[in-house]
């Protein structure tokens, strides 16, 4: 199954999960604290109202001979202001007709009797609830039932606006929200620090693996935490196994080449000593066999090398050596070769494979050029990282458009009079494919042929 990168990095996943968890915890804590504070605010408000209830009960229960103030004189002016929201009410329950006494602020109105509603009294015998007052204001009401013996049974109720409770809760919620926002920002900052610090060993391990891949170091080095150290060790074992397989493949390829080339050389030498059509046929076919064996051995060796880790080759030195060699070979033709490839350009692969591909392309270019062969690096706005495109141009006769794809086939030669086996370009095609690259041909700006070789780079 091909490797696919998740759109969220490990650090992003840790950060998002931590942020979501912190947000949920803060929301639940805020809800719990607000609920607790509401109950606390209600209890404090109820304590104030219960004081007035006690005063009213004291006035009702006082003996007749005792000097007392009038019932309802509680020392709170708002009980006398019409529709102020502060009300008290006393209802006598026994007798033929219940009598009602109420504060002036009710202006003839009446509070609902909680005794008739399914509201259970608390441990102190007081019923608590929220009601709608005479002016449709929300009120907090407390009611208590008392029995003063011969004087009768009464319900005493005191009500006050619940705005004070709501205002206290709003202030508390605002303060709590600001506090939790600051706390959330602090938690986010600490989470970022923790994620960066915690994932730093993974980043270092990734960088170490990248250095192995680019050939800067042969193995993963450095110290890692106990939970990452086994992974680094396993990666080093994998790298060692890769190199061991590579060395074994090279040895087997070398042994096979020696085993096949020696008998073929003997056959060719014996054929050269003979005369007639048979020796000539043996010589020709043996040469073809030798080329084919070399071709497939090169492919096998390249396939092994392409899977190796850490192979990196500088392009410019290889080009310098190859161009210098082909210039000397074609010295009689007066062909001038050169390149403008930057010294920093590096091929991610084996040097021998790079020189095999460039050597075949330069051999073809110098073979057909009239006076000039150039090698340059293609630069386009859509350049992909980790990829380079080399352009090999000559000013020779070139190729027809319909023959440019055909000439890349194995053993295909358009001019039988020119020396060669027809395997050069096909070898380049196969080697480039092994590295994930490609070779294409087109008309050169110099008038001849342009070979476009795309390969991985570092």
What residue spans define the domains of the chain? 68-163, 240-306, 313-456
Quote the CA–CA distance of 359 and 325 in Å, as a whole number: 10
347, 343, 363, 329: which is closest to 454 by C-alpha? 347
425, 446, 427: which is closest to 375 by C-alpha? 446
| CATH of segment(s) 68-163 | 3.30.450
Q: Are strands 336-339 and 372-377 parallel, antiparallel or unpaired?
A: parallel
100, 118, 108: which is closest to 157 by C-alpha? 100
Q: Which CATH number fits domain 313-456: 1.10.760.10, 3.40.50.1700, 3.40.50.150, 3.30.565.10?
A: 3.30.565.10
Quick one: pLDDT at residue 420? 45
Question: From the CB of residue 437, how many other CB atoms can be counted at a distance below 10 Å?
Answer: 22
Question: From the CB of residue 184, how many other CB atoms can be counted at a distance below 10 Å?
Answer: 15
The stretches of 307-443 forming alpha helices (DSSP H) are 315-329, 351-368, 424-434
Q: What SS3 class is residue 373?
A: strand
Q: Are 144 and 125 contacting, i.e. CB atoms less than 8 angstroms apart? A: yes
Quick one: pLDDT at residue 199? 84
Q: What SS3 class is residue 236?
A: helix
The model's pTM is: 0.51
Quick one: pLDDT at residue 109? 85
281, 280, 286: which is closest to 267 by C-alpha? 286
Quick one: pLDDT at residue 97? 66
428: tokens are 């380049």
Sign of CA dihedral 47, 51, 57, 61: positive
Quick one: pLDDT at residue 158? 93
Instruction: Please list the pLDDT of the chain residue by residue as tens digits (458 residues).
Output: 445 555 677 788 888 888 889 899 999 999 999 999 999 998 999 899 999 989 888 888 776 555 545 676 777 889 889 988 899 999 888 876 667 888 888 888 888 888 888 888 888 889 999 998 888 889 999 999 988 877 788 899 999 999 888 899 999 999 999 999 999 999 989 988 888 888 888 888 888 888 777 667 778 888 888 888 888 888 888 888 877 877 777 777 767 766 776 777 777 777 777 777 777 777 777 777 777 776 666 666 655 555 555 567 889 999 999 999 998 888 778 888 999 999 888 888 888 888 889 999 999 899 889 999 999 998 765 556 778 999 999 998 888 777 666 676 654 444 444 444 445 687 888 888 888 888 888 899 998 999 999 998 87
Quote the CA–CA distance of 143 and 126 in Å, as a whole number: 6
Q: Write the DSSP symbol of residue 365.
A: H
Quick one: pLDDT at residue 308? 53
Quick one: pLDDT at residue 32? 93
Quick one: pLDDT at residue 142? 93
Q: Which residues does 318 contact at the CB level (< 8 Å), separation at least 6?
A: 351, 354, 355, 358
């Amino acid at each position: 199954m091909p490797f696919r990168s998740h759109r969220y990095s490990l650090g992003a996943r840790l950060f998002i999960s931590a942020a979501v968890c912190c947000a949920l915890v803060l929301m639940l804590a805020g809800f719990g604290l607000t609920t607790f504070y509401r109950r606390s605010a209600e209890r404090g408000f109820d304590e104030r109202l219960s004081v007035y209830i006690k005063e009213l009960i004291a006035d009702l229960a006082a003996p007749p001979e005792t000097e007392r103030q009038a019932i309802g004189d509680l020392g709170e002016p708002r009980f006398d202001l019409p529709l102020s929201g502060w009300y008290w009410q006393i209802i006598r329950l026994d007798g033929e007709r219940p009598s009602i006494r109420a504060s002036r602020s009710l202006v003839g109105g009446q509070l609902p009797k909680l005794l008739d509603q399914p509201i259970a009294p608390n441990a102190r015998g007081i019923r608590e609830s929220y009601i709608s007052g005479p002016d449709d204001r929300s009120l907090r009401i407390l009611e208590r039932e008392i029995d003063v013996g011969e004087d009768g049974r009464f319900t005493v109720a005191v009500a006050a606006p619940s705005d004070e409770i709501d205002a206290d809760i709003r202030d508390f919620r605002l303060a709590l929200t600001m506090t939790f926002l600051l706390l959330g920002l602090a938690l986010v900052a600490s989470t970022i620090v923790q994620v960066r610090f915690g994932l730093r060993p993974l980043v270092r391990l990734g960088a170490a693996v990248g250095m192995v891949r680019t050939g800067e170091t042969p193995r993963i080095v450095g110290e890692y935490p106990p939970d990452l150290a086994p992974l680094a060790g396993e990666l080093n074992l994998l790298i060692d196994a890769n190199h061991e397989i590579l060395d074994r493949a090279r040895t087997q390829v070398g042994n096979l080449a020696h085993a096949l080339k020696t008998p073929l050389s003997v056959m060719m030498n014996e054929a050269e000593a003979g005369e007639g059509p048979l020796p000539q046929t043996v010589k020709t076919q043996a040469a073809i066999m030798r080329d084919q064996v070399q071709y497939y051995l090169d492919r096998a060796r390249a396939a092994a090398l392409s899977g190796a880790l850490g192979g990196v080759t500088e392009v410019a030195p290889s080009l310098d050596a190859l161009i210098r060699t082909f210039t000397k070979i074609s010295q009689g033709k007066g062909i001038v070769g050169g390149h403008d490839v930057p010294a920093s350009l590096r091929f991610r692969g084996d040097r021998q494979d790079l020189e095999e591909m460039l050597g075949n392309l330069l051999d073809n270019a110098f073979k057909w050029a009239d006076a000039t062969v150039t090698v340059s690096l293609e630069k386009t706005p859509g350049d992909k990282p980790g990829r380079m495109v080399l352009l090999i141009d000559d000013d020779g006769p070139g190729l027809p458009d319909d023959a440019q794809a055909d000439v890349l086939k194995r053993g295909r030669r358009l001019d039988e009079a020119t020396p060669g086996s027809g395997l050069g370009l096909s070898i380049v095609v196969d080697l480039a494919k092994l590295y994930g690259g490609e070779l294409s041909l087109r008309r050169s700006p110099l008038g001849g042929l342009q070979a476009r070789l795309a390969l991985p780079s570092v």
